[in-house]
Structure 1
């Protein structure tokens, strides 16, 4: 069984500024600091934010779905501004998923505006099909809003200088 969910939000910043946040480790650091209701911890296990980087995400108590998992950066395209991560240990894999991939894309709209698109793609064993209900775009919506607010705040600070 294959599925996909996605979310888009418009950002009032250039695509290059948005990619600086979403394309590497910065969004993980921000999420770890600013979203304790969603993530208890975001730990860097290996890497520097480039291809092959591994993070361990530990969700806050009460968040539906797995309690934690490790994800690996499997694709980073700085030209097209696309980053993909896949769960490589625990979490969704323990629940019958054979693939759980998150893609972040920053799409240039115009010079001062861009779109942040996040997508979850998953494959699930048929005998675990009921676990598809655990897949939710809501954490990505929360992360996108956090990123949007952070970028807007930094834009105002830059303009004030």
Structure 2
């Protein structure tokens, strides 16, 4: 066996895993009552009908965001919007929202007029449309803001 064979195998494996990871970012799975609906990021971008400018604590500046409210997306695909949901990111980080506020959680697909990419913590990011009473300089107040959302599951 050539001395380059192990390197070639590692390169091939890393390429396969990166392709799988990239493909995972192009879809979001919506899960309710053992039913899975896959929505493409392109479709989400087309549905993005809510625009707002908010102070983004992780960017330390006002940012124009565009996206779709979580409950609007769920209502489009399921008969009832659940009281509790879990959102999961590409890296496995998960956030559970119990009795979550309606018209409060936005799935952001665009920032400052441009579609989000992985480099910008996209292509889909969960943010709050309002966070009154919390200090934006304390990033621990924003642990529910997650990046690279790939799954939303009704609990």
TM-score under structure 2 normalisation? Answer: 0.28
What's the TM-score, normalizing by structure 1?
Answer: 0.27
Normalized per residue, which structure has more strand? 1
Whose helix proportion is higher, 1 or 2? Answer: 1
